[in-house]
Structure formats: structure tokens, C-alpha cells
Amino acid sequence: MTETDKTAEASPSRPRPRRSAKLDAEDTRAQGRRRLSMVDVAAHAGVSVGTVSNVLNRPEIVARPTLLRVKAAIETLGFVPSAPARQLRAGASRSVGVVVRDIGNPFFTEVLPGIESRLSEEQLLLVVCSSNDSPEKEAHYLQTLEQHRVPGILITPAGDDIGHLVDLHRRGVGVVLLDRPGADSQLCAVAVDNVRGGELAGNHLLSLGHRRIGFLNGPPAIRQCRDRREGLLRAVRNAGLAPDEVVTEVTLPVLNAAGGEAGLDELLAMAGPPPTALFCMNDMVALGALRNLEQRGMAVPGEMAVVGYDDVEFAALLSPSLTSIRQPKQQLGRAAAELLLTDARGDAGHWHQEIVFQPELVVRASSSAPARPSAG
């Protein structure tokens, strides 16, 4: 009855090497043959390099027969123009960089299409980099992107200090902060009101009657974490309660499912009565927390209400369906791209803008009133 078809370890079946096609006659590789350049094409077509360049960049100004001849030469030789050389001359690149904190978090991948849709209208290519919350890696990516002379960079900074981004911008690179307010508008920014989001979550749990709330937060170096925390605490204060009696906070080193799973262990191991509700920094953390709760056999929302953040695509279908704070991801991406375009243009008249969207509470099955509401 039970399917036992599984392999013990997913191990590679014996790799079966074969003769490389690389050694075929028409193969260019490993033969030390120089890569083709425009002079080869020019020679083959019997024209000058200038003409080849024209064929590539302003075909309308070259005479019909010449055009055809050069195009044929390009085709038969398999010539591919060199982007570095092109760029060196032109000065600017046609790709913009997006540096996200964690590409494994669906929130970011759900923001990307919005960005991509706007930028592809301008024939710009998107280069996606994931810093994995490491400021060093982030710095490395930024350096590379700047060296590549990209016109602009969209970034969700890993750390708190954005001085290096302001410098970057000074040096002529368009910079837009993604999902993060722009410190005193030194930079363009697109964000969702995270304080409000935290407040929404807090209001929701408090109105359900919860008086002990566990908060699986991230490192305070991440701005969003501070803001959502502030919102949560504000909700508690507005309800006339004392934050440090209501909120028990755990700081996760990583904001993914594994982090959430471990964070819940830590939270429940703390002294005092356990919380009746959980607010998670994002849905991936909530996912991990739910996994942990299930293993412990704790009922959700019966023994523990759970609220996530981001409302990623799978949130509505988790078991139980996850109450979350929705962010307008597509619009966020598009607005960011739009802003980057104007910023990268670098018009003297350009003013820094900060576009702030409003989050939205989506109530689902994972949050309900506590079993025995403790007295306020």
C-alpha cells in the first residue's frame, strides 16, 4: 500500500561521458583561433569596419546591396559583436542591477515581474543579485555593477547604513531603494508603510483578545524589522497596554523558513507563560513557525494564532491558511522601475521622490481568539 519506490539517497546515476563534440572540424573552441571581430566581417564583405558598424547600428543609412552583403558575412562567419568594446566606446550599459536580500523569498520574486515589465519597455536588461543579507556580498555586487557602468541599481539594502549608496549615487549611478524608505530623501525610494503594517497586525491580534504576542523579528539592522516592530508596539500602546508585558521578541539571524523554525524553539524556551499569538516578519518565517508548531502538535490557531507578512502566493493555501499583511508587489516593482528611469536619466531638474504604498490586512484561518483570553 505505501509507496516504497523512493531511492535511498538521490544519487546521480553513473555519469556517462562521451566524446566531446568540441573536437569536430567546425568547432571554434580550444583551437586558439582568435575570436572574430568587425575587421574580419569587413574583410569578408569587402567593406570598411565603419560600414560594418553602420550596418549594426544605423542600417537605414547604408545602401541596400552593401547591407545585404555585410549581413551575409556576419551570418556565415557567425560574428557576435563585443559588448565590452561597444560599452567602452558608448560609456553606458543597457542592464540595470537589482540587489535583493534573499532571492529564496517569494516576496522578492513576486516584485520582480513589476520591475521587469517596465524596464523591458526601455530595452533594459535586468540583472538579479541576491545578497543573502550579507553586507559584504552586497558590497561586492554593488562594486561589480558600478564597474560595469550600469545606469542604475534597485536595491533592498542588507544593512542599516546606506552611506555607501549615497556615495554611489553621487558618482553618477541611479539608485532607488526598494521596499525601504529613503533616508531623509537623499535617495529615491519605493516602500510600503511598514510601521502601519506592523500596527495592522498588532491591532488584529489585540482585537482578537491576545495579550501575549510572540514576535519573530529579524535583526534590527534591517530597517523593515525595526519599522514593523515599532508598528506592533504602537498598536499595543494604543490599546493601553504595556509593550514589554505583551510582546516577547526573538531576533532571527536569517529570515527564512529555517529561521522561523528555530526561532519558535527559542521563543517557547523562554521563561514565563508562552504567547498565544505569533507575529512573523514574513511569510517564509511564518512557514517555518507553522512547520515547527505542527511537529509539536500545537493547534493553529487554537493554541497559537499566527500572522505572517507579505501575503505571498502560497499564503492563502497553507494549513491553516495564513493571515498576513499584503503588500502591492507588482505596483511596488513597477513604481520602483519608473523612478529608477527618471533617476538614472539624471536630469538636473529631477527631485528625489519617496513613494509609499499602504499595506492591507488579510484575515484568514491562522488567527482567531485565544482559547482562554487572559485578562488585560
61 binds, among a second copy, DNA, none (CB under 5 to 8 A by kind): DNA
Closest CA to 314 of 232, 257, 251: 257
Q: Which residues contact 341 (CB under 8 A, 6 or more apart)?
A: 118, 119, 122, 152, 174
Does residue 329 contact residue 178 with C-beta atoms inside 8 Å? no
100 binds, among a second copy, DNA, none (CB under 5 to 8 A by kind): none
320 binds, among a second copy, DNA, none (CB under 5 to 8 A by kind): a second copy
Closest distance to a second copy from the beta carbon of 338 (Å): 11
23 binds a second copy (CB under 8 A): yes
Burial of 351 (0-12, 13-18, 19+ CB in 10 A): exposed
Question: Residues in contact with a second copy, total (CB under 8 A)?
Answer: 111
352 binds a second copy (CB under 8 A): yes
Report the 10 Å Cβ neighbour count for 314. Answer: 13
Binding a second copy (rule: CB under 8 A), the pick from 68, 72, 363, 371 is 363
Binding mask 45-74 for a second copy (x = CB under 8 A): ------------------------------
Report the 10 Å Cβ neighbour count for 349. Answer: 5
Closest distance to DNA from the beta carbon of 57 (Å): 5
Closest distance to a second copy from the beta carbon of 215 (Å): 18
Closest distance to a second copy from the beta carbon of 139 (Å): 13
Q: Show the cell assigned to 218.
A: 529579524
Q: Which residues contact 271 (CB under 8 A, 6 or more apart)?
A: none
Q: How many residues does the chain have?
A: 376
Q: Nearer Cβ to a second copy, position 66 or 103?
A: 103
**For residues 157 and 98, what is the distance between their CA atoms, to the nearest angstrom?**
11
Q: Which residues contact 172 (CB under 8 A, 6 or more apart)?
A: 346
Closest distance to a second copy from the beta carbon of 161 (Å): 17
Residues from 103 through 122 that contact a second copy (CB under 8 A): 103-104, 106, 109-110, 112-113, 116
Closest CA to 278 of 208, 180, 226: 208
Closest CA to 193 of 335, 336, 358, 362: 358
262 binds a second copy (CB under 8 A): no
Binding a second copy (rule: CB under 8 A), the pick from 48, 144, 238, 374 is 144
The H-or-E segment that residue 356 falls in is: strand 354-357
Residues from 183 through 202 that contact a second copy (CB under 8 A): 185-186, 192-193, 200
319 binds, among a second copy, DNA, none (CB under 5 to 8 A by kind): a second copy
Binding residues for DNA (CB under 7 A) = 34-39, 46-54, 56-57, 61-63, 65-66, 79-82, 85-86, 88-91
Amino acid at 309: Y
Residues from 287 through 326 that contact a second copy (CB under 8 A): 287, 290-291, 294, 313-314, 316-321, 326
Q: Show the cell assigned to 168.
A: 554611489
Q: Nearer Cβ to DNA, position 150 or 178?
A: 150
Does residue 244 contact residue 188 with C-beta atoms inside 8 Å? no
Residues from 78 through 97 that contact a second copy (CB under 8 A): 78, 80-88, 91, 93-95
Sign, CA torsion 332/333/336/337: negative
Closest distance to DNA from the beta carbon of 34 (Å): 6
